[in-house]
Structure 1
Amino acid sequence: MTPPTSPPHHAVQARGAHPLPASAAPDRATAAEVAQPQGQPIAVQPETRARVLRALALAPTLAFLLMVLAPPLNHDVAAILNFAERWVGGERLYRDLIDVNPPLIFALTAIPALIDRFTPLDSVQALQACVLGCCALAWRFCVALRRDQREGPVEAAVLDALVPLTCLLAAYDVGQREHLMGLFALPYALLAARRMEGQGTPTGLALGITLTAALAFALKPHFLAVPLLVEALVLWRRGPALALRDPLPWLMAVVWLLYLATLPLLFPDYLGHVVPLVMDFYLGTGGLNVFAVLLTDKMGSAVVAVLLVLPMLAWRGAGPGARALGCVALGGMLSAIVQHKGWSYHVVPMAMATALAGGWVAARWFDRALPSGRALAAAPMLAIACTFAIAAVHIRGESPWRQIWYTTLSDGQLAAELKREVAGERLLVLSPDIYPVYPALNYARARSTLRTMNLWLLVGAYPDCPEGAARYREPWEMSRPEFLVYRTVAEDFARAPPGAVLVAKRSGIPRCGAEEFDPIAYFSRHPAFEETWRRYTRIVHLDNYLLYLREE
């Protein structure tokens, strides 16, 4: 009689272990039967295990999504949204609303401003919905481009989890112009990889990716470093004969030329009025030299990440997609350097591209280093390790700590006070700050009446304290930009007095001896401002601000 075989779930005996006596076998079987009811298998179903592991790999993406949705909204994004609402409300861009940003970002941000006017969503909710829609679109582009690719099991698992995480990796800076550029640079890099390999792409998909990328690169002039480097890589890989016949880069160039052509036609004040102000004042405000920019904490860390990933791209198995992302990272680095600031959002394209490129190359290496069966079994856990490691690296600085503590700090208390005192009203803001004034104004649904987002023109007019000079210049001594601020603030204030005036306790202008620069004293020299100011008698003292309320 043939002895029965062991059940498949029994453990295999370890090499070198001594077999148990036959008399002990029934005791062990009996113990197992006591611990496990008959007919109930211990092993988890493979489909259930796979779903659980996929969900774990996506857990960092969910965490970053919560950071994106939690207040505060990014300050620059909020300021542009406030301007877009005023533009939609009838004020003239670059005449009543003076800002250094080219018009494309205001045109795009006008979409959530219009949604606010015609739907139950407020402007912040509408903007978040639009930005997350852009993230979903970029992710779907990447999914569509990967659909017919031959990916190893680790590569597929890592990309499935890492691409959506990369789309949200900016956290607090989601919605910034750099984030939008980095977002649509991802599918653009994957499309460039297919072009390098001579792979065909459905026309609609290729056109959609190219047009969205062209708009994203047009948000700032220095963003063009990214497509220039990527197209140079395509040219080198394919050769001039094939690369120059490709219509997609020429389509991007047409989009950029059409955009340039609209500037003098639709926005003549930008070239004639704003650009001279930028050249005279903005570029010199807070600028750093190249060496100093590279040594800022945010920029320095991002550059180190780029320098670590670039040698990985020299490996033969790195693949064209990761190499195209390397060009995106280099272009993002050049763009950040020429802005001379080293701020957190300037490094976002570098961070996004290096995270995805590094994870992609590592996944391809594991697929080649492991036997096929081992690679298939290890793929889910390697995807989890990759996404958790990248998330851990990027949970630093502003997110999630700013979101966690926002309502308890003075920044959130300013928003709460504005909601309580001036919700839905017009407000004159005399402050050098963008944050925390924005997004506090947005949450209060209040609108600034200042023609600039803050007092940057006034800060630029008083960079130092000349010896023997008066604290405030007389009108006939002022430069044209300073006189513009002096005149328009006073006249706008007198013509349509706002509900309140928010004044920063720190003007951002150097002290002259013992005398601080007082914006109220400065503008009160204008008779129209001085007369209207008498009506603002109630004062609310905040941590870094004074809120003056108009008494009827």
Structure 2
Amino acid sequence: MIFLRRNAESAPASTYRDADATLVTSRDRGARARWLRLAAFAPAAFFLVAILLPPLNHDVAAVMDFSRRWLAGEALYTDLIDVNPPLVFILNLVPAALARWTILSQGQAILVCLLGFTFMLWRMTEALRRGRAEGPVEAAVLTAVLPLLLLAAGSDFGQRDVMMAMAAIPYCLLAARRIEGLPTDRRLAIAVAVVAALGFALKPYFLAVPLLVEGLVLLRRGAAKAKRDPVPWVMLGLWVAYLASIPLFFPAYAWQILPLAWEFYGDIHGPGPWRVLVTDVMGAAEVLLLFTVPLAFRRESGAFGQALAMAALGAFLAAWAQHKGWTYHVLPITLLGLGALAVAAARWADRALPEGRARASAPALALVAASAILVYQLRGGETPWREAAYYGETPGRLAEWLDRNAHGQPVLVLSPDIFPVYPALTYADARQMLHTMSTWTLQGFYRSCPAGEEPYRDPSTMRRSEYAVFHTVAESFALHPPAALVVARHANIPACGGRFDLLAYFARHPLFGETLERYAPAGEIDGYRLFVRRH
């Protein structure tokens, strides 16, 4: 019997149709997965666009301005008075130098540096993920969520608290590798440790984050291995060196600024250490922690999720210690808590789904995770509403007026608020003459009403520190009359025998009063009185 071999061409037509359908379906699935992976980056792209749009964060602009003035010759903590430790001003010398010696404006220079810092952190996270055992869902979620968390601060991008939280993300990944016993390139580990140490050194409160994370590493690895680990010792060495350098290179901060800050700075803003716990922003972060921490500390959530949860708890302690409840104080809790929640949820999906189903669903689940973070950040937040309204509201209008009347020239602004004075001064390239970022020192001096019926103390009864502010502002105004004078109607000081008027307060000084006669009123923008110098 002869068996004839059938050629492929003689197969039934239905076989070809089935094969073609399978091929088309496979291609469709691949295209769909690619589109979903791309769409998962849309939330990060959204925040990137918001960051690039004005306004620049007010505190970021103010700190940059102090570094620029320091670079131009004014003495930090002598001519430039602020309670922030010197590290943030040292780091801001880089964008200040770029703005001074390149074609970049101040706003462009700081954005270039901040986005470069963000890119470096993202590259660190990608390098630290290599060699880790990640399920398909976890891998897809981390790929989409990690860059999103680095950008999700939006309007608060560049704040010291946000920079700390950003630096904590690769640090937590490194902590996870140490817990898991994975070998890590020594140069990479040291680089991550140095960046994290600098981030945590921006404010002393931030040290709660590495304290809790290192406690987790110690608990999971054991004391013997932890002692041989170079990461905590590198960080500790940097902190000790930085602390020792402050009285050596910045003695005025140690002996003059710190006593002033200790005396009243913590009391002039915010609801206090207990009421802050029930403010809306802080309360929302506490609810997030109540969900996140128990989930993250299930063993199945993995070392990275647990490290992020510990970092979020440390961020909570830091925010509580500052007892202000401001959005950027709370943002580290939100960013690190959302990161821990995303990791825990992704690892749960990898366990719950069959491998093939998990692999097929990973791009869609990554999009869901990124979108959930986007929606959470948008609820009640300032981004993108502050950017959308910038040109029609106070900051944009004030910046336009300053640009028109005092571009690149000295300006004296008397206001208790940093926003919207900054970034309006930044965009106008104007130079603030005040020796502080705001009139916060007056708020401290007038926490309680002075004796008598007048809202102001007589110069003869002023304490030494108040008279120094009173006289220095008047003297600078008289010696170097600025192109414009901007004075807020509100002083954020209790009315004692009458409303506290910042202009009237300083006009009592003969030098200030005489020089003020050379200025003409030029209108008002939302409670900010405007004056221009008569030529």
Structure 1 letter corresponding to 2:412: L
Contact 2:489 2:502 in 1 (8 A): no
Q: Please, which of 332, 341, 356 is the counterpart of residue 349 of structure 1?
A: 332
**Residue 5 (structure 1) aligned with residue 7 (structure 2):** no
Other-structure match for 1:223: 206
1:512 aligned onto 2:496: yes
One-letter amino acid of the structure 1 residue matched with residue 91 of structure 2: L
Which residue of structure 1 lines up, in the alignment, with residue 384 of structure 2? 400
Cα separation, 1, equivalents of 2:189 and 2:14 = 58
Partners of 1:298 and 1:399 lie apart in 2 by: 15
2-side partners of 1:280 and 1:476: how far apart?
Answer: 22
Counterpart among 89, 94, 98 of residue 115 in structure 1: 98
* 2:37 partner SS: helix
Give the length in aligned residue pairs.
Answer: 524
**1:384 aligned partner:** 367
SS at match of 2:267: coil
1:175 to 148, 151, 158: 158
| Alignment correspondent of 1:472 | 456
- In the alignment, the residues of structure 2 paired with residue 189 and residue 148 of structure 1 have an alpha-carbon distance, to the nearest angstrom, of 16
Q: CA deviation at 1:459?
A: 1.3
Deviation at 1:469, TM superposition (A): 3.6
Please name the residue that 1:274 is paired with.
Answer: 257
Correspondent of 1:184 among 163, 167, 170: 167
For 1:524 and 1:394, the matched residues in 2 are separated by 45
1:339-393: CA deviations, max 9, x gaps?
A: 0101000012111111111111111111111111101111110101110011111
1:271-310 alignment to 2 at 5 Å? 271-310=254-293
Match of 2:7 in 1: none
Residues 43 and 370 in structure 2, CA contact (< 8 A), matched pair in contact too: yes
Which of the numbers 510, 515, 521 marks the counterpart of 2:504? Answer: 521
Structure 2 unaligned blocks of 5 or more:
1-9
Match of 1:163 among 146, 164, 172: 146
Contact 1:457 1:481 in 2 (8 A): no
Q: Pick from 142, 152, 155: which aligns with 2:135?
A: 152
Mean Cα displacement is larger for which, 392-401 or 284-293? 284-293
What's the CA shift string for 1:193-237, capped at 9, x where partnerless? 111122110011001100000110000001000010011111111
Instruction: Say which of 406, 410, 416 aligns to 1:426.
Output: 410
CA gap of 1:312–1:41, structure 2 versus 1, over 3 A, is closer
TM-score, structure 2 as length reference: 0.95
Q: Please state how far the C-alpha of 1:50 moved relative to its aligned partner.
A: 3.2
* Aligned counterpart for 1:63 among listed residues 33, 46, 49: 46
Inter-partner Cα distance in structure 2 for 1:476 and 1:244 = 60
Q: What are the residue-to-residue correspondences of 1:191-202 with 2, within 5 Å?
A: 191-202=174-185
Partner of 1:20: none
Alpha-carbon contact 1:431-1:503 (below 8 Å) kept: yes
Where 1:428 maps in the other structure, the secondary structure is strand
Of 291-300 and 367-376, deviating more is 291-300
Give the match for residue 452 of structure 1.
Answer: 436
How well do the aligned residues superpose, as a CA RMSD in angstroms?
1.7
SS at match of 1:549: strand
Deviation, structure 1 residue 60: 0.4
Q: Which amino acid aligns with 1:306?
A: L
Give 1:225's aligned amino acid.
A
Change (3 A) 1:97 1:509: same
Establish whether residue 484 from structure 1 lines up as the match of residue 468 from structure 2.
Answer: yes
Higher helix share: 2
Provide structure 1 residue ranges, at least 5 long, that are not aligned to the other structure: 13-39
Q: 1:142-176: CA deviations, max 9, x gaps?
A: 10011111211111100000000000111111100
CA contact (8 A) 2:405 2:483 kept: no
What's the % identity of the aligned pairs? 50
* Residue correspondence of structure 1 range 362-377 to structure 2 within 5 A: 362-377=345-360
> Which protein is bigger by CA-based radius of gyration?
1
Give the letter aligned to residue 530 of structure 1: G
Q: Is the 8 A contact 1:538 1:551 kept in 2?
A: no
Q: 1:132 aligns with which of 111, 115, 127?
A: 115
Distance (Å, rounded) in 2 between the aligned partners of 1:214 and 1:240: 21
1:51 to 14, 20, 34: 34
